[in-house]
Chain A
Amino acid sequence: AQSVSQHNHHVILSEAASLELGCNYSYGGTVNLFWYVQYPGQHLQLLLKYFSGDPLVKGIKGFEAEFIKSKFSFNLRKPSVQWSDTAEYFCAVTRGLYSSASKIIFGSGTRLSIRP
Chain B
Amino acid sequence: DAGVTQSPTHLIKTRGQQVTLRCSPKSGHDTVSWYQQALGQGPQFIFQYYEEEERQRGNFPDRFSGHQFPNYSSELNVNALLLGDSALYLCASGTNTGELFFGEGSRLTVL
Between A34, A104, A108, the greatest number of chain B beta carbons within 10 A of the residue's beta carbon is seen for A104
Segment at the interface with B among A11-19, A45-53, A67-75, A77-85: A45-53
Contact between chains at B56 and A101 (CB < 8 Å): yes
Write the B37-81 contact mask toward A (1 if CB under 8 angstroms, else 0): 000111111001010000110100000000000000000000000
Question: Known contacts being A42-B104, A44-B90, A100-B31, is A109 close to B41, with CB within 8 Å?
Answer: yes
Instruction: Give how many A-B residue pairs fall within 8 Å (CB-CB).
Output: 62
Residue B19 lies at the interface, judged by CB distance under 8 Å to chain A = no
Q: In the docked arrangement, what's the CA distance between A55 and B41, Å? A: 27
Residues of A within 8 A of B30 (CB): 100
Contact between chains at B103 and A43 (CB < 8 Å): yes
Interface residues of A (CB under 8 A from B): 4, 6, 32, 34, 36, 42-46, 49, 51, 90, 92, 98-101, 103-109
